[in-house]
Structure 1
Amino acid sequence: MEQADRDAGIDLTELLAAFSLATDLGLGQPMEHLLRSWRIAERLGERMGLPEDQRRSLFYVSMLAWVGCVADSPEVAASFGDDIAFRADSYDVDLAGLTGFGFFLRRAGRGGPMWHRLRVATTMLTTGGQNVVQGMQSHCLTTSTLAERLGLGAEVGTALRQFFTRWDGRGVPHGVGGTDIAPVVRLLHLADVVEVRHRTGGIRGAIEVAEQRRGRQFAPDVVDAFVAHAPEVLDGADPEPGPRHPLTESELDTALEALADFTDLRSASRAGHSRGVAELAGAAARSMGLPVADVVATRRAGLLHDIGLHGVPTTVLDQPGPLSATDWERVRLSSYYTERVLARPAALARLGAIAATAHERMDGGGYHRGLSGAAVPMTGRLLAAACAYRAMLEPRAHREALTDKQAVGAVREAIRAGALDGDAAEAVLAAAGNGRRRRVSGPAGLTPREVEVLVLISRGAQTGEVADQLGISRKTAGTHIERIYTKTGASSRATATLFALRNGLLDPLDL
């Protein structure tokens, strides 16, 4: 079996459930809001006789329905200020008619100077809020595109394009309502709102909002079924996990790339950032001779390293001037969110732990843990260097993009200052075509094969076991070990292990 066709050990259900936690952050809701919304819709659908195939689709629609909100975050921020606060507040209001228009108008240009607020409000008044409608349409189409990239069925894509519809036909697309709306969307419309209201107002509050929007935003039969079964639907036992969808290695890479692309949409200047970091870090890891599993993990962590930015408002990410202490703390928390979002399952947690080191520095000046020296694994050192270099080449609200020469100079200055690991950063620069005229190798001039052997003996492998695992002769394995000892100045396996730890070749996550 080809490597690409092997089971990756991660299920699409697990991956989307994890990604939904990041989406929750962008909605201004506690983590697992979308998972709880799915559970409510699932229980209600079961009581309403929703067919099994539609119940399977319900999970995917629930996890992805709000993902497109990332795509229009810059536009939302331009019109309404803090996009996360805006979405959090929107759960309290029926967004159609005068109440919805008043909600948008009150928040027009929030956080900006008076002239900006007046301009946004005037535009809304003269266009009847068409810019808001167009943003919603873009949101829907973008989300259905993600479903296609993940290989989900046409039924899921169709349902996602209806997420901003309403039973009364006053949503987006305009005029689509009633029974034209897919049953899974009708269920999710209600579940998404009552989950929030249940947390803030209990069962009574959830029933009240359902009844207030009956026949308007929500389907009457869905509301009636909810009111009849509210206690068990809201507080009942969790349903079985979503539909199982094991991913091959190739499918996992495709899924992670799709999620990375959507993450980067959170800020217009970051388009392609995660892919670029992933390719640089992966290529550098390969050139340094890291084990194949570490090379793969480094690249995948690069795709995921900014997922925590869903918890940072676009107004902060695109702040043209210096950040306040509060805003800077929100940025620092993003790597914590990355690690938290990817905390399970175990295979994903490994990637998340590496991804969360993208902003750590060798001198302890990074975030969110403030790791330093040997505490930063080589995978993290490579990721940090790749992220720093790639970001310098991209424009940001507070600066123009650096030239390649300037970025290379800045990276080497960070090496001299002790912030970036020299071997890792030079490997990244070489992968980008900016390496010095020397063969890229591991610490102390170790070859890629010698790095592999060092990792194995540090983890307790004897000479014969090294030979068996690498498919080489015992004599060749012994020769590699002798050369490793000579190059590193080690006199025993213990001192060789300390060298590996000091240079980040042994991932602390694996020890």
Structure 2
Amino acid sequence: MTRAALPTLGGAMAALSVATDFAMAQSAHFGMRSCALAVRLADIMGWPVQQQRQAYFQALLRYIGCNPESEVIASVVGDEMAMRRDFAGMDTADRHAVGALVVRRLRETYANLPAWRLAGKLVGTLLTAEKTMAGIFSGHCEVGQRLATRIGFDGDTVQAIGQLYERWDGRGQPGRVRGEQVSPAALLVSLSQDVVVHHDAGGVEAAVAMVRQRRGKAFSPAMADAFLGHAASVLCGIDALPEGVLVDVPGGDEPLDEARFDAICEAMADFVDIKTPWTLSHSSGVATLAHGAARSLGLPAQEATLLRRAALLHDLGKVGVSAAVWCKPAGLSPPEREQVRLHAYYTERILSSSPAFAPLAEVASLTHDRLDGSGYFRRPPASGLPVAARILAAADHYHALIEVRPHRPAFTRADAARDLLAEAGAGRLDPRACEAVLDAAGHAAAPKPRGSSLTEREIEVLRTLARGHSMKAIARELGIAPKTVDHHLQRIYSKVGVSTRAGATLYAMEQGFTSALH
């Protein structure tokens, strides 16, 4: 990929917003349509260009931190995607409405339970719902801010992303700040996204009624009035924004250099991998193997770089499938297997939404296809699988085997190598690609900590925490007392500057502590 083909910041974030649309189970182009509305309202209110720019990127990145608690939500309500879809646009301070939604989701998920057990589920969940939601929202904010910082956004934009659940009346999360203490960009995008949800459901009248009801509560009165005074005009065409069309970035877009493009790809990889404790650092590990194999086979540097980026993003479509499927400890049902197969298609959809990502989409979407026509989702003939796709398929297969999965333990390296070569012998994977991946795996150095001040014991505790273990489970696995675990966690959080399990997990991924290549 040449420098001329590198995307702009706006184009890259547009693709990331499509990924968050899938992750939040929202309608097509939800993030970009919300962005268009926010920019129109900011212009009506006479915001300066820099402030409009913050609103633009806030709309595209608002849910970049949404994935860390996916398994937790799925373990409670069964399908976090359905919960997120139904929760969108809801007044988060309306306890009755939120409680009714939780009850409905629980009744659907546990419909086969005896009445007394269902009642216990309902009572237990409702009693802890407020505390659970506060923890989830805090984790979303912290992870979103860390990822936005890695992408290279300024402090004001990062601060706004950390306030996505705050409200004008101070009844939001996690800081319960109010009024002008809340970032204007965060407030405007909150209004814009709620408007899009209600407009999709009931048209202009529904959106207007919702804003009137929440004026001075969730929404700034001035912002609500700006919308109410121009509702018909600002919503004109908002539901028909064509796929792939980007709203102009206020003040102009900016091109990305190679280093920042790599940083964005790495952040997007962690965005998807943190969805479950079973896939932490999977994409970065596959990228390490694929890049090493490409160099071993003598691919030109430009092609090896393209392959590394495609490997980082090859599983991006996983965000569109419920964590209840990815974390299921038993065999998948036919509908669940079909959902898994769809994630490769979702990956292509996300990456193809930005022209500069299209070359990556061509390789990434072929990860699960095989030479004999099996696999999914394209099923091209063997001649239609380029060398890069063959390497990526082998790297992904090997790396998945050496990782723990909910239905099996990790393979040993020797067993994983035998399985990989068996796939090549059966004609499903390319033999040369498999040999190159094994060569890369044999020489892959464990990622070095980037200046981490943690002790070896603290790293062990952090690594176990990142896998989703409770404090008691960490104590059992490491043979120490729960109080000792708590002491270690307090020191870890203080040393690395995080305040949530989600933030600590992302830090562990950034440092390479969760890599299966250790």
Report the TM-score range of the alignment, normalised by the length of the smaller protein. 0.7 to 0.9
Counterpart contact for 1:109–1:120, Cα < 8 Å: no
Write the letter of the residue equivalent to 2:360: L
Select 1:278's aligned residue among 278, 284, 287.
287
2:411 partner SS: coil
Greater relative contact order (Cα < 8 A, sep 6+):
2
Matched residues in 2 for 1:429 and 1:36: separation?
45
Matched residues in 1 for 2:133 and 2:180: separation?
25
Find the counterpart in structure 1 of residue 47 from structure 2. Answer: 50
Matched residues in 1 for 2:190 and 2:107: separation?
28
Worse overlay, 16-25 or 94-103: 94-103
Write the letter of the residue equivalent to 1:87: R
State the superposition RMSD in angstroms.
2.2
Kindly indicate whether residue 267 of structure 2 is the aligned counterpart of residue 258 of structure 1: yes
**Pairwise CA distance, 1:176:** 1.2
Kindly indicate whether residue 249 of structure 2 is the aligned counterpart of residue 244 of structure 1: no
Counterparts of residues 28-427 of structure 1 (less than 5 Å) = 28-91=25-88, 93-96=90-93, 97-108=95-106, 111-112=109-110, 114=113, 120-127=121-128, 129-235=130-236, 240-241=248-249, 243-427=252-436
Counterpart contact for 1:320–1:397, Cα < 8 Å: yes
2:167 partner SS: coil
The Cα offsets for residues 114-135 of structure 1, whole Å up to 9 and x where unpaired, read as 4885565344343462011111
Q: Percent identity?
A: 38
The Cα offsets for residues 258-308 of structure 1, whole Å up to 9 and x where unpaired, read as 110111011111000000001101110111011222111111100000011
Matched residues in 2 for 1:39 and 1:433: separation?
49
Counterpart contact for 1:78–1:109, Cα < 8 Å: no
Write the letter of the residue equivalent to 2:80: D
The Cα offsets for residues 194-246 of structure 1, whole Å up to 9 and x where unpaired, read as 11221221111111221222222222221211111011111168852454121
**Pairwise CA distance, 1:153:** 0.4
Find the counterpart in structure 1 of residue 24 from structure 2. Answer: 27
Write the letter of the residue equivalent to 1:20: S
**Pairwise CA distance, 1:168:** 1.9
State TM-score, norm by structure 2: 0.79
**Pairwise CA distance, 1:108:** 4.2
1:131 partner SS: helix
2:7 partner SS: strand
The Cα offsets for residues 306-364 of structure 1, whole Å up to 9 and x where unpaired, read as 01111111111111112121111111111111111111443310011101011111111
Matched residues in 2 for 1:125 and 1:179: separation?
32
2:278 partner SS: helix
**Pairwise CA distance, 1:31:** 2.5
Give the 3 Å change call, closer, same or farther, for CA 50–77 of structure 1 in structure 2.
same
1:252 partner SS: helix
State TM-score, norm by structure 1: 0.80
**Pairwise CA distance, 1:430:** 0.9
Counterpart contact for 1:260–1:304, Cα < 8 Å: yes
The Cα offsets for residues 425-445 of structure 1, whole Å up to 9 and x where unpaired, read as 11101110189xxxxxxxxxx
Matched residues in 1 for 2:137 and 2:342: separation?
29
Flag structure 2 segments of 5+ consecutive residues without an equivalent: 242-246, 445-518
Q: Provide the aligned length of Structure 1 versus Structure 2.
A: 432
Select 2:11's aligned residue among 3, 10, 14.
14
Counterpart contact for 2:53–2:249, Cα < 8 Å: no
**Pairwise CA distance, 1:109:** 8.0
* CA radius of gyration, larger in: 1
Matched residues in 1 for 2:44 and 2:283: separation?
43
Give the 3 Å change call, closer, same or farther, for CA 429–173 of structure 1 in structure 2.
same
**Pairwise CA distance, 1:138:** 0.9
**Pairwise CA distance, 1:414:** 0.5
2:6 partner SS: strand
Write the letter of the residue equivalent to 1:216: K
Give the 3 Å change call, closer, same or farther, for CA 388–119 of structure 1 in structure 2.
farther
Counterpart contact for 2:38–2:56, Cα < 8 Å: no
